[in-house]
Structure formats: structure tokens, C-alpha cells
A = this chain, B = another copy of it.
């Protein structure tokens, strides 16, 4: 692991790091905020998965998480959203919603994506091992959150690994790739036409199939341009009700899909994570 940069911030260290991933076969960049702590102390870890077009940098610069992580003593990790670099396949037309910046937190099985697009394995296994090795992280206390495509990532990874994540939340998540154009395009491209293989990558389908966590927190802006066509929180409400999965969905009046929305509610999400990670 190489250090790209470190900056003192909010009584802690905001770092950006890179390493060669064996899963993606590429150099991957990620950011980690570590609050100051006592010698030998290990801190709970909150994962933040970003949305389409983003890298680690968007939330690192605009997410306004550091004050809250410093207050609660939480490590905050922000991975990239896809493999990148020479030879990595991209959307045929360079669209923003597939390929680079749009890994959807799946392990691709379709060519030419299968070689590099292994973001599920990267985020679920390889990067956590690196974090455990290199940072003062208490891996027995992890939470996961994300935005949009990253909200989908957080919900699905959280639901598939309920033993590992004590807190799961999302900002404007894609709740069902099976039922929206972004999901249709991405999962067809990465996983293929057999939709039964998509269910492990669909929060609603996972809950329908029996996955369960103690509770979920979701914020969704009412002025989000993607609300009706892509995000469809009503599908999550419906399946959570049907399966008795506790869900707190907060419709936030007038908020859109941007980091102005995310940063506004970041503090409350981190309060919610801290309450569960430090219980």
C-alpha cells in the first residue's frame, strides 16, 4: 500500500492510499479517515460506497463526515466505484452508468468485464483485509453506508453479511436493480441475462429471499431527479413490510441527489452508526 496524501483534519488524519488489487488486477485508490486515538486503541469502521461517476474523492471532499467521525471515534473508508486503468473494459459508448465509475459492487461473469470488474470481492474481502492490516481498525465493529449505486452496494453487502455489519444505511439507494433501467443495463452487462443470478445483488430480492438485518436507515430526497425512474424506495418499503424487516425511510422534502443532500444527513447517519457500533 502506498500513501498518496495525508492531511490533518478535524483532529485526525485524512489519507488517500493506493494498492494493486489482486481481485481487480488494477491499481485501486481509496481514502481513510482515522481520528486521533490512544496508543493501541482500535476503532469501529464505517464503509461508504459511492455512486455512479464517483471515485473516493467525492465523499472525501464533500461528504462532511470528518467532524462526526472525530466526535464518535469512527474510521471512515471510501473505496473507488470500479477498476480503472489501461486495458480495463468500459461502456461501449462511454456512458456514465456502466463500466468505469459504475462497477455496481458485483463480481462480473460476462466478458470482457469478468477479469477486472470484481468490486464485490474487492469491497467485501480484499480491501477489508488490507484495512485490518494497515489501520487501527476494530473489524468486529463495522457499519456500511452508501449513496445511489453505493446505497445499493451498502444494502446488498450489508444484507448478505448481516453477521459482519452492525449498522446499514443508505442515501437515495437503488433499492432494486431488477426493477430499474440502471440496474437492467448494469447487471445484464456484468452478470448476463439470467435474472435469477441478479437476486444476490438486489436489496429487495435479498429481503424477499430471507435476508434480514436488525434495522435499516434510508434517506431519500423528494426533489431527486432519479426518484421515480430509478430509485423507487416504495419497492423497499413494500418488501420490508411483507418480510417484517425494520426500515426507517425518511423522505426529505426538497432535497435532490447531490452531495448537498448527502452532507446534510451524514451527521445523523453517523450518529445512527455510532449508536450501533459502540453499543
Contact = CB atoms under 8 A, between A and B. Distances in A.
Given A62-B61, A67-B64, A263 B9 contact: yes
A131 B14 CA distance: 36
Interface residues of A, number: 25
B261 A9 contact: yes
A7 interface: yes
A264 B9 CA distance: 6
Nearest to A257: B7
A9 to B, nearest CB: 4
A160 interface: no
A253 B221 CA distance: 39
| This protein's copies in its complex | 2
28 contacts: A7-B256, A7-B261, A8-B221, A8-B252, A8-B253, A8-B254, A8-B255, A8-B256, A8-B260, A8-B261, A8-B264, A9-B255, A9-B260, A9-B263, A9-B264, A10-B263, A10-B264, A11-B264, A14-B260, A61-B62, A61-B259, A62-B62, A64-B64, A64-B67, A64-B263, A66-B263, A66-B264, A67-B267
Interface of A: 7-11, 14, 61-62, 64, 66-67, 221, 223, 252-256, 258-261, 263-264, 267
Q: Nearest 3 A-B pairs (CB), nearest first?
A: A9-B260, A7-B260, A8-B254
